[in-house]
Structure 1
Amino acid sequence: MVANCGTTIEGNDAMQYNVGSIAVPASCGNFTINLKHAGKMPVAAMGHNVVIAKTADQQAVSADGMAAGAAANYVKADDARVIAHTKLVGGGESTSVTFPTSKIKTGGPYEFFCSFPGHAAMMKGTIAVQ
């Protein structure tokens, strides 16, 4: 649910987000995504993050993120394709990221996904300004 130019997403130990799409209100200048890891597993085994990029770039961003490694939150440093991303969190942890909505108003479609290796196949959804 979106309220006050933000939303909360939960990730779990079954490699799933509880949200499949995010509609960002056009009236918001900035938007915040709060990520809550509802599972119990540690970050090294079942870490989750939220990365926002063009749908067309998701696979390449994930591959470069895997090469960057866990210490880099599975996101390549200074990757121009990445609109925004959170750090990796494990069971019981939370994090958030705020970004300008202008970055996803044109040039999409965009999606949010988890860049932990292997997770993006199941942990992804669409994000768009409405």
Structure 2
Amino acid sequence: MKLKPFLLAAAFAAVAPAAALAADCSATITGNDQMQFDKKDISVPKSCKTFKVTLKHSGTMARNVMGHNWVLSKAADMQPIVNDGMAAGLDKNYLKPGDARVIAATKVIGGGQSDTVEFDVAKLQAGGQYAFFCSFPGHVALMKGTVTLAP
């Protein structure tokens, strides 16, 4: 049976928007052994109910030497979260347990590892200033960026 070209195009058009919406509700970010993220900003579409971030570590160093996590908070809360996280230690992913300022966070991962976190987009407000960062001691100076709620 041979499909007519317009039927094939119509079938693709019906599937494509759903796939595009799913792709818009996630991001992948990579950290390396040089204390760098490969992205400086992430745009979260307001139309997403939840947003998923996958952190990948492209380096080779162990998590206790050059570990990275991805933490989301209001921009003003970034440094206080980092300060409190140092005392929490690696076993708690350099985050104070139960810290309400943290909107979302992955665990600390080492070279070759990855971790994913999903958060409710309703936690972000239009016009709000949000930051993502690594809370491993000393990393926030280089490993940070912005998160924006897009229309």
* TM-score normalised over the length of structure 2: 0.83
- Please give the alpha-carbon distance, in whole angstroms, between the structure 2 residues aligned to 1:57 and 1:106: 17
* Aligned counterpart for 1:72 among listed residues 73, 92, 110: 92
Deviations 1:88-109 (A, max 9, x none): 0000000010000111124720
* Contact 1:37–1:90 (CA under 8 A) maintained in structure 2: yes
Letter in 2 for 1:55: A
* Aligned counterpart for 1:34 among listed residues 46, 54, 57: 54
- Please give the alpha-carbon distance, in whole angstroms, between the structure 2 residues aligned to 1:3 and 1:115: 27
Q: Structure 2 unaligned runs (5+)?
A: 1-21
How many residues were matched structurally?
129
Structure number having the greater helix percentage: 2
Residue 3 of structure 1: how far off its partner (Å): 2.2
Q: Structure 1 unaligned runs (5+)?
A: none
Structure number having the greater strand percentage: 1
1:99: which partner in 2? 119
* Aligned counterpart for 2:101 among listed residues 63, 71, 81: 81
* TM-score normalised over the length of structure 1: 0.96
Q: What percent of counterpart residues are identical?
A: 53
Matches within 5 A, 1:16-27: 16-27=36-47
Which of the two has higher C-alpha Rg? 2
| RMSD between aligned residues | 1.3
- Please give the alpha-carbon distance, in whole angstroms, between the structure 2 residues aligned to 1:67 and 1:87: 16
